[in-house]
Amino acid sequence: MEKKENGVDGKKSGRVVDGPTNPMVTPLLNDLYQFTMAYAYWKAGKQSERSVFDLYFRKNPFGGEYTIFAGLEECIKFLANFKLTDEEIDFVRDSLPGCEEAFCDYLRGLDCSDIEVHAISEGSVVFPKVPLLRIEGPVAVVHLLETPFLNLINYASLVATNAARHRFVAGKSKLLLEFGARRAQGPDGAISASKYCYLGGFDATSNVAAGKLFGIPLRGTHSHAFVSSFMSLDEIVDKKLRSSDGKSSCEDFVSLVQTSLTKIQNSSSSSGIFSETNKSELAAFTSYALAFPSAFLALVDTYDVMKSGIPNFCAVALALHELGYKAVGIRLDSGDLAYLSTEARKLFCAIERELKLQDFGKMIITASNDLNEETVDALNKQGHEVDAFGIGTNLVTCYAQAALGCVFKLVEINNQPRIK
Amino acid sequence: MEKKENGVDGKKSGRVVDGPTNPMVTPLLNDLYQFTMAYAYWKAGKQSERSVFDLYFRKNPFGGEYTIFAGLEECIKFLANFKLTDEEIDFVRDSLPGCEEAFCDYLRGLDCSDIEVHAISEGSVVFPKVPLLRIEGPVAVVHLLETPFLNLINYASLVATNAARHRFVAGKSKLLLEFGARRAQGPDGAISASKYCYLGGFDATSNVAAGKLFGIPLRGTHSHAFVSSFMSLDEIVDKKLRSSDGKSSCEDFVSLVQTSLTKIQNSSSSSGIFSETNKSELAAFTSYALAFPSAFLALVDTYDVMKSGIPNFCAVALALHELGYKAVGIRLDSGDLAYLSTEARKLFCAIERELKLQDFGKMIITASNDLNEETVDALNKQGHEVDAFGIGTNLVTCYAQAALGCVFKLVEINNQPRIK
């Protein structure tokens, strides 16, 4: 266990610890009973008695054999900046029946300079019944840390563990992308999910705020709505695209895409796979490629993956290739991911060979349809060609087990052992 | 459906809509692909095309037959204040490969003055496949609302529905208390849980921040740690307690409690139930009563409910009664809640009759041990004397189903129907 310096020591040594990431994490993010108890301790003259509390859990989540400890940094940020504002103290006074004014003075003077925290390093693999944190200090103050600490650690550790389990199943070589913002339990369910999934072994997130706050790599391309918002290639007005090296310019990228589609259509690689593709989808892909020629990754399942999405994608990728760009790949969001990814890979490789397009077969195949540990495991057993998994709901809400039950127990007061 | 005025209309009519409760709810609380698509629309000159999106879910949660719609107010607050800061725009620019500066100018000018939202009233009972919101406006802007709206509505509606289901099972007459802050999925998992459980039919929360933010009644007393932090009655220094009417004063409330305990011990009501009670617990209860004589509610299961907790509680309640106070009641946090609540009620009623203590039998019995819909239902079937349920983990994390799957679908663009 390493010893974390508390607020005052931190200041003494010239270090200033920022406040919690979420400004809503204040001393009032607390169960009322922490304040009623603080008041009762204070009334009894016991508020400064030296107490020791342990924070631990009793059982690993997800029926597993380990837990990843997370949330410590936010606890330290909270602790180092612990201070009740006058407005908060007024609210506490009004919430405690018969609260004496002198207690408000006591609260006004409170900080955590007298608190000592011993903790396991954030990100460690931890086990049941082993204290993750040991908090020592005046009993009334330590009580005021219980609810915020549990709140900051329970979900953080749960979702980091969930991420680590997904990494374990997916294997080291796969890209794991956290796509949970829309289904997370509230705004910072989303933001902390992104943070702790990254800690737990994910590579990137779709959540822009988390990217900005924590420097986590961002990923994302387009949705089905983008595809269906286009009607036809005629909508595309600005058809010009400069080549990758900037030396030349294609005046009509739309025509180049159409020519490429015919090439793909006539290639032996794709013989018999498709006849006519969806033109709204082709227009969407073409537009997207015009916007991001160096980062073209298309969602190919809006209409029919093999008969429309993949051929349209290949046409645009081929057109980009002629201008010196390399398309990034595709995303599959429905259907039989094992089969579709395998078929897509076969076609990419066949086109690479037939049309002599270097690396065309190596394009990234992303899958993202309501995935979880079990479905990734099942895909592995079936065999697939997916390079990247985008995982949302099941990851961030910890659907398989939505809570970790960390507890905060008094173990000592005034050097006397006190275990219930 | 009622029509909500958008930001500009709101300002025109002199109304200013506050920002979202959580300051982390910014336009960057978004999937990256909303920005990549906005860029692609902008590149294609399509960014202002009039689009219509519906937000709805496909299946009621918890295997149930209804859903409570919640989260609308926060969406409106977000919408009315939608504005990207320069710093946010810089971050978006850096996140989009090859982003043109003119797009940043476009983002700089964006607000939601051109967005129209039609919505069902917050708190309504809603059903699958019926649009909860219909959002109309420039396609690039509506895309930027998708992730925040889904984030703000999915969990809000899920937890409000969960609360309503708990209310339905518990019945109208019971007090329902949300105690989930420590196990919620992150800080505003806790705060929004409190808000939406209140909306869904709960009476109060333990979460002080939610009490302050939303005016939700607060509840809470003390924990097991408070009980075990006391050693003996000798610790209590200030033993004085004024009577409820302020006319007299008891110089030694501790002695009064001890006398009361003997009375309870010798009463026929409690004959044979207990011999010696735990003195650390008695000291904790006495201290708590000295702090909150008009709001004494004790957690009675730290040692042994029937042999120690309840008798100790009755002794303190009786002593308070002699000074004109009425104790509020007890909380049970373990064991057979049906049996213990029934036995406690019997004893309270017997003491009321024997010692002529008005309302002693009506004291509130609160139960709070990992409760959920099923356990409350099982208690009802067994028969119990619980007046108030404190529900945490299962309620706020929606343990039985941790996500609601609201989706956001394009239904029209440029007056053309576009359903995938």
**Is residue A36 within 8 Å of A98, Cβ to Cβ?**
no
How many angstroms separate the CA of residue A168 from the nearest CA in chain B? 23
In chain A, whose CA is at the least distance from the CA of B100? A291
> Which of chain A's residues have a Cβ under 8 Å away from the Cβ of B398?
185, 402
Is B200 within the bounds of a domain?
A: no
Q: How far is A262 from chain B (nearest CA, A)?
A: 24
Q: What is the pLDDT of residue A5?
A: 44
Within a domain: residue A44?
Answer: yes
B277 with B360, same domain: the answer is yes
User: Residue A148's closest CA among A72, A61, A222, A62?
Assistant: A72
Q: What phi-psi label fits residue A230: left (phi over 0), alpha (psi between -120 and 50 degrees) or beta?
A: beta
Residues A359 and A247 in one domain: yes
> Same domain, yes or no, for B292 and B246?
yes
Mark whether B90 and B58 lie in a shared domain.
yes
> Does B170 have pLDDT greater than 80?
yes
Assess contact for B336 and B343: CB atoms under 8 A. no
- Can you give the pLDDT at residue B11? 45
CA distance A5 to chain B (A): 24
Tokens 């679908």 appear where? B409
- Closest to B31 (Cβ–Cβ): which among A35, A220, A235? A220
The residue type of B288 is Y
Test B238 with A95 for CB contact under 8 angstroms: no
Asked, for residue B182, whether it belongs to a domain, the answer is: no
Residue A192 covered by a domain: no
Q: Could you report the per-residue pLDDT of B221-236, keeping only the tens digit for each?
A: 999 999 999 999 999 9
Cβ–Cβ of A220/B36 closer than 8 Å?
yes
For A56-92, what is each residue's pLDDT tens digit? Answer: 999 999 999 999 999 999 999 999 999 999 999 999 9
Q: Using CB atoms, which residue from B29, B53, B97 is nearest to A190?
A: B29
**Cβ contact A397–B420 (<8 Å):** no
Residue B149 forms beta bridges with which residues?
none
Q: Do B47 and B139 sit in the same domain of this protein?
A: yes
Phi, psi of B366 (to 5 degrees): -105, 140
Nearest to B22 among A24, A42, A154 (CB): A24
Q: What's the rounded Cα separation, in Å, for the pair B118 and A101? A: 49
Tell me what the mean pLDDT of segment B276-293 comes to: 97
Distant-in-sequence, close-in-space partners of B314: CB < 8 Å, separation ≥ 6: B260, B264, B270, B347, B348, B351
Residue A66 near residue A167 (C-beta atoms within 8 A): no
Q: Which amino acid is at A158?
A: L
Nearest to B22 among A152, A182, A188 (CB): A188
Does a structural domain hold residue B281? yes
How many CA atoms lie less than 13 Å away from B261 in the CB half-sphere?
Answer: 25
Same domain, A365 and A412: no
Distances (CA, A) of B206 to B209, B211, B331: 9, 8, 14
Does B222 contact A37 at a Cβ distance shorter than 8 Å? yes
Residue A95 has pLDDT above 60, yes or no: yes
The C-alpha atoms of residue A1 and residue B300 are separated, in whole angstroms, by 35
Residues A131, A136, A142, A146, Cα dihedral to 10°: -10
Predicted local distance difference test score (pLDDT) of residue B16: 87
Check residue B2 and give its pLDDT: 44
pLDDT tens-digit readout, A311-338:
999 999 999 999 999 999 999 999 999 9
> Do A259 and A140 share a domain, yes or no?
no
Q: Both B261 and B127 in a single domain?
A: no
The answer to whether the Cβ–Cβ distance between B393 and A413 falls below 8 Å is no
Contacts of B88 in chain A (CB under 8 A): 212
Task: Say if the Cβ atoms of A24 and B191 lie within 8 Å.
Answer: yes
Return the half-sphere exposure (C-beta side, CA atoms, 13 A cut-off) of residue B185.
35
Co-location of A48 and A94 in the same domain = yes
Q: Which domain holds residue B111?
A: 2-164+402-417
B406 & B343 share domain? no
Neighbouring C-beta atoms of residue A343, cutoff 10 Å: 16
Count of the separate structural domains present in chain B: 2
DSSP string, B201-245: T--EESBHHHHHHH---B-----HHHHHT---GGG-----EE-TT
**Chain A interface test: which of B51, B208, B393, B410 (most A C-beta within 10 Å):** B208
State residue B283's pLDDT score. 98
pLDDT value at residue A10: 42
> Across the interface, which of A20, A53, A235 has its CB nearest the CB of B46?
A235
The CATH number for A350's domain is 3.20.20
Answer yes or no: is A117 within a domain: yes
| Same domain flag for A155 and A65 | yes
Q: Which residues of B touch A292 (CB under 8 A)?
A: 36, 39-40, 96-98
* Model pLDDT, residue B420: 61
* Short-list B247, B278, B30, B302, CA closest to B142: B30
Task: Please give the residue of chain A at the shortest CA–CA distance from B184.
Answer: A151
Nearest Cα of chain B lies from the Cα of A374 at a distance, in angstroms, of 17
Q: pLDDT tens digit string along B115-136?
A: 999 999 999 999 999 999 999 9
ipTM of predicted complex: 0.94
| Nearest residue in B to A26, CA atom | B209
Quick check: is B177 in a domain? no
Q: Out of A190, A302, A402, whose CB is closest to B399?
A: A402
Closest Cα in chain B, distance from residue A39 (Å):
7
Q: Which domain CATH number covers A155?
A: 3.20.140.10
- Whether residues A109 and A66 share a domain: the answer is yes
CB atoms within 10 A of CB A59: 12
Residue B201 located in a structural domain:
no
